Amino acid sequence: MNTTFKTVASSNISISELMLPSHTNFSGKIHGGYILSLLDQIAFACASKFCGNYCVTASVDTVNFLKPIEVGELVTMKASVNYVGKSSMIVGIRVESENIQTGYIKHCNSSYFTMVSKDKDGSNARVPGLVLSNLQEVRRFTNCLKQISLKKEKDRHEENFNYSSIEALANLEKYNVRIELG
Where do the structural domains in the chain lie, given as residue ranges?
5-132
Alpha carbon distances (Å) from 61 to 52, 72, 101: 23, 29, 34
The domain over range 5-132 is classified in CATH as 3.10.129.10 = yes
Q: Of 83, 175, 165, 92, whose CA–CA distance to 130 is shortest?
A: 83
pLDDT tens-digit map of 46-68: 999 999 999 999 999 999 999 99
Residue 22 exposed, middle or buried by CB count within 10 Å (0-12, 13-18, 19+): exposed
31 Cβ neighbours under 8 A, 6+ residues apart: 23, 24, 25
* pLDDT exceeds 70 at position 143: yes
**How would residue 2 be classed by pLDDT, with cut points 50, 70 and 90?**
low
Angle of CA points 58, 62, 63, to nearest 5°: 115
* pLDDT exceeds 90 at position 16: yes
**How would residue 88 be classed by pLDDT, with cut points 50, 70 and 90?**
very high
* pLDDT exceeds 80 at position 159: no
Can you tell me the distance from the alpha carbon of 112 to that of 123, in angstroms, rounded to the nearest whole number?
Answer: 23
For residue 1, what pLDDT is reported? 58
Can you tell me the distance from the alpha carbon of 127 to that of 92, in angstroms, rounded to the nearest whole number?
Answer: 17
Q: Of 15, 14, 33, 13, whose CA–CA distance to 23 is shortest?
A: 33
For residue 164, what pLDDT is reported? 82
How does DSSP classify residue 31? P
The mean per-residue pLDDT over the stretch 94-121 comes to: 97
The mean per-residue pLDDT over the stretch 81-104 comes to: 98
121 Cβ neighbours under 8 A, 6+ residues apart: none
* pLDDT exceeds 80 at position 135: yes
Least confident of 19-23, 24-28, 54-58, 167-171: 167-171
Helix (H, G, I), strand (E, B) or coil at 71: coil
Rounded mean pLDDT of the chain? 94
